[in-house]
Amino acid sequence: MEIVHTPVLLNECLEYLSPEGEPFERDAFMIDSTLGEGGHSFNFLSKYPGLSIMGVDADSTIQSRARERLSPFSSRMQFYNGWFNDFYADYPLERHPDIILFDLGISVFHYERSGRGFSFRHDEELDMRLNPSAGESAADIVNSYEEKKLADMIYLYSDEKYSRRIAAAIVEARRGGKILSTKALADIIYEAVPSKYRHGNIHPATRTFQALRIQVNSELKRLVSAIHNAFNVLNPGGKLGVITFHSLEDRIVKNYFRNLGKQCVCPPEVALCRCEGHPCAQIITRKPLEPTEEEVKQNSPSRSAKLRVVRKICDAGQMRLEGVEAL
């Protein structure tokens, strides 16, 4: 089987999320919350023979590829098909993890092989759903949102400075018929922006496609509850790592981890401190780990990746999520 996705910050993950000390070194349990083609899991299982992993992914197609890739480790590998926020909200296992990893990037497989319109490099159906059997597609959004809502969504999730012009052009174009393909949408965006903007470092449709993907898959909304519930599921002394790829994701993770490291994390309406006045976590990465120049050279999608890691001290309970909510 040809593997098309290269896991980012792999060496950093293997080092900073390694099983440490007894009993972790001989019998550790990890949850790969975003399994994809199984790149991170494959390398963790290869390096740490005492480790077993549960791989979570909402996309059954890519998970089947991971099952094939990870078949040599069958006795140490389990799989869950579903969204990670649902998995952690109703945690289904008796055993709790010592290591949790979230890699929030979209697999190269989805861009190059899924046929679901994640990229405008191929003329495909405008879908973008990681779980293609549920929820509204990108085409549903493009063809139904009123202009202001569409513009607000594009700006919020991509910081696209021409979001108003793009939204207006989309609404005008769909009067002549539904916009159903990636090429059709990319062409509309290209014509909507000023000519000088068409020849920058990235294609003018890049940010709009990012915003649509985030909206379609509720990526930021899922993230807030998922990392909070995942932290509470983690065994004391265990480590939680999150790889982000854009500023909105990183802001959520950074603020949440910062709150975990505070002396008291109880909400203001709680009369008595329940966390006994000590932090819930040790922040292992005071600054995020970023790819080396060599990694970026070898794997360009890694260029915007950031890894943050904390070690759990105690549960965060109903810790206030102020400052980490999805915008």
Annotated binding residues for S-adenosyl-L-methionine = 38-40, 57, 84, 103, 110
Question: What is d(CA 70, CA 54) in angstroms, rounded to the nearest whole number?
Answer: 11
Cβ–Cβ under 8 Å, residues 31 and 57 = no
Tokens 């879908």 found at: 127
CA atoms within 13 A on the CB side of 232: 14
Question: What is d(CA 42, CA 130) in angstroms, rounded to the nearest whole number?
Answer: 22
Question: What is d(CA 176, CA 178) in angstroms, rounded to the nearest whole number?
Answer: 7
Percentages helix, strand, coil for the chain (3-state, rounded to 5) are: 45, 15, 45
Residue 226 DSSP SS3: helix
**Which residues does the annotation place in the binding site?**
38-40, 57, 84, 103, 110
Polymer length in residues for the chain: 327
Cβ–Cβ under 8 Å, residues 247 and 199 = no
